[in-house]
Amino acid sequence: MRKICSIAWNDYLLTVASRTFIISILIAPLLYLGIAGLQIIADRNVDLDIKLLMLVDRSGALSQTLVDKAIQRNRSEKVIDSKGGEVKQVGPMFFVEPYEGDLIETREIERMLSQRVIDQEIFAFAIIGKDILNPNDGPDIGVSYYSDSPTARDLPDWLRETVNEKVKSIRFENAGIHQRTVNKLMQPIEIETLGLADISVDGPTAKPKKDNILETFLIPVGAVFLLFIIVNMSAPLMLNMVIEEKMNKITEVLVSSVSPFSLMLGKLMAASMVGLTLAVIYMGSTLGFLVFFGVIDKLSGIYVIWFVVFLVFALLIYGSMWGGIGAACSELKETQNFAGISIMMVMAPMALIMPVLSSPGSAFSIGISLVPLFTPMLMLLRLGIAPGPAPWEIGTALALCTVFALFCVWAGGKIFRIGLLAQGQKASLTQIVKWLFSS
Amino acid sequence: MSDYAVRLINVAKSYDRQNAVDDLSLEVPAGSIYGFIGPNGSGKSTTLRLILHLIMPDAGVVEVLGKRETRAANDRIGYLPEERGLYKKMTVRRQIGYFARLKGMPGPLIRERTEYWLDRLGLADRIDAKTESLSKGMTQKVQFITAVIMKPDLLVLDEPFSGLDPLNLEAIREEILQLRREGTTVILSTHDMSAAENMCDHIFMIDRGKKVLDGSMAEIHGRFGQDTIRLRVRGETGIDLETLPGVSSVRDHGRFQELRYSGDSRIILEALSRHADIEQFEVTRPSLHDIFIRLAGQGRENERTEAVEA
């Protein structure tokens, strides 16, 4: 055990004392947040074009409204951000130009205006049916939108919304119902989402608490993302440490002093210690943030303990996999194929966050969170959402996870024992499976 | 304590149905320097790995320092592999300390021995230097220290002199001899035949996984006898040396030739004196280098014959 601890301490110091590690502590969360931020920024700022819509209004009642509404929209917050006194365009501008040519046959108009779209004179065109206000008068009641950019949804969406709003308003007016009455009748009802009443006390209780987005969404999802970041930063260290020692020819000296299994355990301990160090740093910052904003009461101490428990499981499972890959390969480039599989395994539970979040108590969510490879992330997510999983689910998940983690460590150790000294040989997946079942 | 530090009894090991070591037996006397020689790919490294318990034999018994159990004696064995490797970013002190701890040494003793060895090999001022800043010779010395710091009962050295300049080579050679004097058994695997001949009490040669030579230097010289003439002539010889009576082969070393012969050397001298101005004519024993070439050459010849017959 003393030797295993020596290996763990040595590898831990080698990792955390490096400049790369210190930089990555700062960069990793920024990188992940940056990707999310980039999405928002891109959504708002990428398309700042002027989109000209040529409108063929066979009803003759909507053109002017759409022209005006487009101008109104361009002045609105959707397009112009004037916060802080600075006016800044943050979205595409729409302009509507009524078609003023002869109202010839539809196919002819389509041909003519399509050519103008191709020539980039207009962005798109739309034809409004002549019977749109009175559907009972004839069949020509629809609106057709034509463009060569089918993925650009903002303009057709705006058109649909605006046309519907205006048409409904005209239809109500024609039916003798005043717009004010309509607005009054159509006023939406707000639904207040609350937790359950406290039934543990007799007599009248306080009003149940309102759902809080921090408690019900940000903390559980944030915890899973934090676990994902830490696993991604720590578990692959196993591969780096093993490959580096193999490439620097240190492995043979090490295994002449300790057994390959002890060596792997030492390295796994080191990777786990690195993971826990990251957890302390990131969780410390998060707690500081929650204290600063006076919402620390939204995070329960038990949830923090679950986070650490599932982090250790994830590090053991994924760390053993990465260690096994490192032992089976001689050079970094050889690890690419196997590393891809491992990355997919870590990514898979992330792809399941939304379905589990929207229905945490469904049979699917229960089943998938009991799959040991997914348990650390998905059970942690479910634990953060009230009412949380049943005790039997938690017990089963912990038992399955323990067995699977032990299996991973055992399998990793087996691959380690044979792979470590297989210098210069390229291991195939079949060969690795053979090593697993060799005596 | 056993008379032998290492015993291999009918050991076999194969990789992908290819015999790396075939029914091999050897005994390394305790307290000796045991030379381990053989051509590349002969099974030398496999045998060393078997002794170190890095790999398990398919058959036979490997007994090291009286223990047959795997890894039981690991803390008493020092190992310097042929392919050197140290952590580049680690300081010399931490590096030596880490490997010593893996051999089970206590902290205070590690500090004391680290200072002793660094001082002894002239590296005391580099104790806090990172390995990447050291010269190749210094790095090899540090690696040598990691192998000997725990004062091993058995020291396995794979090509310890490769890449060393004469000064460093002499320093390491002297330390190996000193360790032997203090009771350490040394297995010295090398391609440097003159080092093996000068330092080793016993020589073991392996070729194609089989033992082809095993014994003390005296026994080996006794087996091969005096069948070599070292010849130096002034100018050119007026005769093809291989046509001289009794001469079976000639090796040209540039400044002199070595003739392998059987029969009476005086007849050769007489025949030669009629055709060349002789500067040196010395009847001597074959060097270990010659013996190696003969045995390895014979091995290749047998291999070719077997291939033709097949």
Residues of A contacting chain B (CB within 8 angstroms): 2-3, 6-7, 10, 14, 18, 245, 248-259, 421
| pLDDT value for B310 | 65
Contacts of A255 in chain B (CB under 8 A): 54
The closest CB to that of A258, out of B49, B84, B102, belongs to: B102
Q: Are residues A218 and A173 in the same domain?
A: no
Q: What CATH number matches the domain at B4-217, 3.40.50.300, 3.50.50.60, 3.10.20.90, 3.40.50.1100?
A: 3.40.50.300
Q: Are residues A314 and A410 in the same domain?
A: yes
Q: Residue B51's closest chain A neighbor by CA?
A: A256
User: Which DSSP state fits B285?
Assistant: P
Q: Per-residue pLDDT averaged across A173-196, rounded?
A: 80
Q: Are residues A273 and A382 in the same domain?
A: yes
Q: What is the count of residue pairs from A and B with beta carbons less than 8 Å apart?
A: 55
pLDDT in tens, A305-316: 999 999 999 988
Asked if residue B285 lies in contact with residue B218, where contact means CB atoms within 8 angstroms, the answer is: no
Q: Are residues A231 and A175 in the same domain?
A: no
Contacts of A14 in chain B (CB under 8 A): 87, 89-90
Across the interface, whether the CB atoms of B83 and A249 are under 8 A apart is answered yes
Across the interface, whether the CB atoms of B101 and A255 are under 8 A apart is answered no
Separation of alpha carbons B116 and B91, rounded Å:
17
Across the interface, whether the CB atoms of A7 and B49 are under 8 A apart is answered no
Q: Let me know if residue A195 belongs to a domain.
A: no
Residues paired with residue B78 on neighbouring β-strands, in sequence order: B155
**Higher pLDDT pick, A143 / A324:** A143
CATH 3.30.70 fits B226-284, yes or no: yes
Mutation site for A-interface testing, chosen from B51, B52, B89, B101 by largest number of A Cβ within 10 Å:
B101
| pLDDT value for A231 | 87
Across the interface, whether the CB atoms of A253 and B71 are under 8 A apart is answered no
Separation of alpha carbons B308 and B310, rounded Å:
5
Distance to chain A for B46, nearest Cα, Å: 11
Residue A266 CB partners (closer than 8 Å, separation 6+): A3, A4, A5, A6, A7, A8, A11, A258
| pLDDT value for A125 | 92
Mutation site for B-interface testing, chosen from A240, A253, A261, A423 by largest number of B Cβ within 10 Å:
A253
Q: Are residues A422 and A293 in the same domain?
A: yes
Across the interface, whether the CB atoms of B104 and A259 are under 8 A apart is answered no
Question: Does B89 reach chain A within 8 Å, measured CB to CB?
Answer: yes
Phi, psi (degrees; rounded to nearest 5) at A160? -60, -50
Using DSSP, state whether B264 is helix, strand or coil.
coil
Q: What angle do CA B109, B112, B116 make, to 5 degrees?
A: 135
**Higher pLDDT pick, A1 / A5:** A5
Asked if residue A295 lies in contact with residue A214, where contact means CB atoms within 8 angstroms, the answer is: yes
Contacts of A257 in chain B (CB under 8 A): 74-75, 99, 102-103
Contacts of B104 in chain A (CB under 8 A): 2-3
The closest CB to that of B102, out of A252, A257, A421, belongs to: A257
Asked if residue B35 lies in contact with residue B214, where contact means CB atoms within 8 angstroms, the answer is: no
pLDDT in tens, A290-300: 888 787 877 78
Lowest mean pLDDT among A109-113, A406-410, A411-415: A411-415
Domain definitions of chain B by residue range: 4-217, 226-284
Phi, psi (degrees; rounded to nearest 5) at A102? -70, 140
Domain CATH code at residue A102: 3.40.190
Q: Let me know if residue A158 belongs to a domain.
A: yes
| pLDDT value for A208 | 67
Share of chain A above pLDDT 90, in %: 11
Closest C-alpha to A150, from A123, A127, A129, A128:
A123
Across all residues in chain A, what is the average pLDDT? 82
Q: Are residues A105 and A237 in the same domain?
A: no
Across the interface, whether the CB atoms of A421 and B54 are under 8 A apart is answered yes
Residue A20: pLDDT band with limits 50, 70, 90: confident
| pLDDT value for B86 | 86
| pLDDT value for A83 | 62
Beta-carbon count within 10 A of B235 CB: 8
Residue A77: pLDDT band with limits 50, 70, 90: low
Total of domains in chain A: 2
Residue A438: pLDDT band with limits 50, 70, 90: low
Separation of alpha carbons A26 and A34, rounded Å:
12
Q: Let me know if residue A346 belongs to a domain.
A: yes
| pLDDT value for B166 | 86
Upstream peptide bond of A188 is cis (omega within 30 degrees of 0): no
Q: Let me know if residue A191 belongs to a domain.
A: no
Q: Let me know if residue A21 belongs to a domain.
A: no
Q: Are residues A390 and A251 in the same domain?
A: yes
Closest C-alpha to B5, from B273, B266, B202:
B202
Q: Are residues A397 and A258 in the same domain?
A: yes
User: Which DSSP state fits B66?
Assistant: T
Residue A44: pLDDT band with limits 50, 70, 90: low
Burial category of A335 from C-beta neighbours within 10 Å (exposed 0-12, middle 13-18, buried 19 and up)? buried
The closest CB to that of B81, out of A10, A249, A259, belongs to: A249
Residue A386: pLDDT band with limits 50, 70, 90: confident
User: Which DSSP state fits B276?
Assistant: -
Separation of alpha carbons B255 and B273, rounded Å:
18
User: Of A179, A198, A225, at which residue does a domain stop?
Assistant: A179
Across the interface, whether the CB atoms of A257 and B81 are under 8 A apart is answered no
The closest CB to that of A6, out of B71, B83, B98, belongs to: B98
Mutation site for A-interface testing, chosen from B98, B146, B149, B155 by largest number of A Cβ within 10 Å:
B98
Across the interface, whether the CB atoms of A3 and B104 are under 8 A apart is answered yes
User: Of A128, A163, A179, at which residue does a domain stop?
Assistant: A179
Angle, helix A375-383 to helix A219-247, in steps of 10 degrees: 160
Within chain B, which residues score under 70 in pLDDT? 1, 70-72, 299-300, 307, 310
Burial category of B106 from C-beta neighbours within 10 Å (exposed 0-12, middle 13-18, buried 19 and up)? exposed
Separation of alpha carbons A430 and A285, rounded Å:
45
Residue A326 CB partners (closer than 8 Å, separation 6+): A238, A239, A240, A241, A242, A243, A246, A335
| pLDDT value for A251 | 80
Separation of alpha carbons A271 and A230, rounded Å:
10
Structure tokens at B105: 């040494």
Across the interface, whether the CB atoms of A253 and B99 are under 8 A apart is answered yes
Q: Let me know if residue A185 belongs to a domain.
A: no
Across the interface, whether the CB atoms of A249 and B102 are under 8 A apart is answered no
Is it true that B4-217 and B226-284 share their CATH fold?
no
Mutation site for A-interface testing, chosen from B13, B76, B102, B136 by largest number of A Cβ within 10 Å:
B102
Separation of alpha carbons A369 and A371, rounded Å:
5
| pLDDT value for B225 | 73
Residue A439: pLDDT band with limits 50, 70, 90: low
Burial category of A101 from C-beta neighbours within 10 Å (exposed 0-12, middle 13-18, buried 19 and up)? exposed
Q: Are residues A218 and A175 in the same domain?
A: no
Residue A146, pLDDT above cutoff 80: yes
The closest CB to that of B77, out of A10, A254, A256, belongs to: A256
Residues paired with residue A115 on neighbouring β-strands, in sequence order: none
Q: Are residues A298 and A247 in the same domain?
A: yes
Across the interface, whether the CB atoms of B89 and A257 are under 8 A apart is answered no
User: Of A155, A179, A203, at which residue does a domain stop?
Assistant: A179
pLDDT in tens, A266-294: 888 888 898 888 888 888 888 888 888 78
Distance to chain A for B234, nearest Cα, Å: 50
Question: Does B88 reach chain A within 8 Å, measured CB to CB?
Answer: yes
pLDDT in tens, A85-130: 666 777 788 899 998 877 678 788 888 889 999 998 999 999 998 8
| pLDDT value for A395 | 92
Q: Let me know if residue A236 belongs to a domain.
A: yes
Across the interface, whether the CB atoms of B81 and A252 are under 8 A apart is answered yes
Domain of residue A152 covers 48-179
Q: Per-residue pLDDT averaged across A34-47, rounded?
A: 67
Across the interface, whether the CB atoms of A248 and B86 are under 8 A apart is answered yes
Q: Residue A4's closest chain B neighbor by CA?
A: B102
Across the interface, whether the CB atoms of B85 and A18 are under 8 A apart is answered no
Closest C-alpha to B42, from B197, B188, B212, B203:
B212
Amino acid letter, residue B217? M
Q: Are residues A124 and A233 in the same domain?
A: no
Contacts of B77 in chain A (CB under 8 A): 256
Q: Let me know if residue A205 belongs to a domain.
A: no
Residues paired with residue A147 on neighbouring β-strands, in sequence order: A124
- The H-or-E segment that residue B46 falls in is helix B44-51
Burial category of B9 from C-beta neighbours within 10 Å (exposed 0-12, middle 13-18, buried 19 and up)? middle
Across the interface, whether the CB atoms of A10 and B98 are under 8 A apart is answered yes
SS in 3 state form for chain A? CHHHHHHHHHHHHHHHCCHHHHHHHHHHHHHHHHHHHHHHHHHHHCCCCEEEEEEEECCCCCHHHHHHHHHHHHHCCCCEECHHHCCEECCCEEEEEECCCCCCCHHHHHHHHHHHHHCCCCCEEEEECCCCCCHHHCCCCCEEEEECCCCCCHHHHHHHHHHHHHHHHHHHHHCCCCHHHHHHHCCCCCCCCECCCCCCCCCCCCCCCECCHHHHHHHHHHHHHHHHHHHHHHHHHHHHHHHHHHHCCCHHHHHCCCCHHHHHHHHHHHHHHHHHHHHHHHHHHHHHHHHHCCCHHHCCHHHHHHHHHHHHHHHHHHHHHHHHHHHHCCCHHHHHHHHHHHHHHHHHHHHCHHHHHHCCCCHHHHHHHCCCCCHHHHHHHHHCCCCCCCHHHHHHHHHHHHHHHHHHHHHHHHHHHHHCCCCCCCCCHHHHHHHHHCC
Beta-carbon count within 10 A of A402 CB: 13
Q: Are residues A226 and A150 in the same domain?
A: no
Using DSSP, state whether B139 is helix, strand or coil.
helix
